[in-house]
Every structure is written in C-alpha cells, then in structure tokens.
C-alpha cells in the first residue's frame, strides 16, 4: 500500500498513513502505547485465583497487533510526520471470525488528531486494501438468538 499524505492547503502539518511494517520491537511498543491511551478499557479485568486483576493494556494491544500482523490482517498507522513523528492514529482489521467467507472486520479505528477525517481516510484505505484481495470490509457484532445464546455476526458498514 502506498503511503497516504494528508496536508491542508497553507498548513505545515503533515500526517502520513502507512501500512504497518515490523522493523523493530519498538514499532509494536509505539502501537501498543497509542492504542492503550485511545482505548483505555478495551481489555477487561480477568479473574485469577478468585481475584479480579487488571490487564496490561499496552501489552495486550501489542499482542493483538502481532496476532493480526501474523495472520495477514491489516494495520494502518498514522504519524504526525511534520512534528514529532508520533503515532496519532491506528486502524486494525482482520478476517472475520464469523461463518461469513471473504469478509474482514475492523477491530478498532481511532485517531487523536483531526479524528473524524483521519478515521474515515484510514477506513477508506482499509476498505480498498481488502477489496484488492477480494474481501469485503464490515464489522463483527453480537446478536442474541431467541434461545438467549449470543452469537457473533458480520454486518456490512453503511
């Protein structure tokens, strides 16, 4: 995927969206740090030896990024390239875990700068990336069956 460069006319602020490439462990740490700050309670507490324990959010996000990367999913990161080069947006996407074939889901899509526009640009880029692979991008959600059982289903985004 070619990098996407966003810069408003007359502005010196440049944001670059790229597909994640594992170069060093630091790249996972940067993603984990951003995701933990943006989605602070995504990973719920766990019961260990009868006690509720908090979960290391950064570590859990690094592990999720590794799972998605290793499974051929898509990780997009947006960096503030005219400033401190920090991560300011991340989109994680993977094949759906439902029974639907050729469908992918967005795990998270978050930005900390020009949020609505940046998230939309990342989503559109992900949609195009999956489309090139013959896969439709949507969202997994849970529904309750008449029996009371909760099941994960895939829905197309509108």
> How many CB atoms sit inside 10 A of residue 27's CB?
18
Domain that holds residue 54: 4-156
**Cα(86)–Cα(11) distance, rounded to whole angstroms?**
18
Determine the pLDDT at residue 156. Answer: 80
Cross-strand partners of 136: 103
Q: Please count the structural domains in the chain.
A: 1
pTM of the model: 0.87
Among 31, 54, 52, CA closest to 42 = 54
Among 38, 10, 40, 20, CA closest to 119 = 38
What's the chain look like in SS3? CCCEEECCCCCCCCEEEEECCCCCHHHHHHHHHHHHHHCCCCCCCEEECCEEECCCHHHHHHHHHHHHHHCCCEEEEEEECCCCCCEEEEEEEEECCCCCCCEEEEEEEEECCCHHHHHHHHHHHHHHHHHHCCCEEEEEEEEECCCCCEEEEEEECC
CATH number at residue 26: 3.40.630.30
Determine the pLDDT at residue 16. Answer: 93
Q: What confidence category does residue 133 fall into, taking pLDDT thresholds of 50, 70 and 90?
A: very high
Q: What confidence category does residue 65 fall into, taking pLDDT thresholds of 50, 70 and 90?
A: very high
Determine the pLDDT at residue 152. Answer: 77
Residue 158: is its pLDDT beyond 60?
no
* Interval 66-108: pLDDT, tens: 999 999 999 999 999 887 889 999 999 999 877 778 899 999 9
Determine the pLDDT at residue 151. Answer: 82
């Amino acid at each position: 995927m070619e990098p996407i460069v966003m810069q408003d006319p007359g502005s010196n602020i440049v944001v670059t969206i790229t597909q994640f490439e594992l170069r060093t462990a630091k790249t996972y740490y940067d993603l984990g740090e951003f995701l933990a700050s943006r989605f602070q309670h995504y990973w719920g507490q766990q019961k260990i030896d009868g006690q509720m324990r908090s979960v290391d959010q950064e570590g859990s996000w690094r592990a999720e990024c590794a799972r998605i990367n290793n499974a051929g999913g898509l990780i997009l990161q947006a960096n503030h390239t005219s400033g401190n080069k920090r991560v300011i947006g991340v989109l994680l996407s993977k094949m759906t875990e439902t029974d639907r074939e050729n469908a992918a889901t967005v795990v998270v899509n978050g930005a900390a700068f020009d949020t609505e526009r940046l998230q939309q640009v990342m989503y559109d880029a992900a949609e195009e990336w999956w489309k090139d692979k013959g896969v439709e991008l949507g969202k997994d959600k849970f529904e309750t069956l008449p029996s009371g059982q909760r099941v994960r289903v895939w829905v197309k985004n509108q």
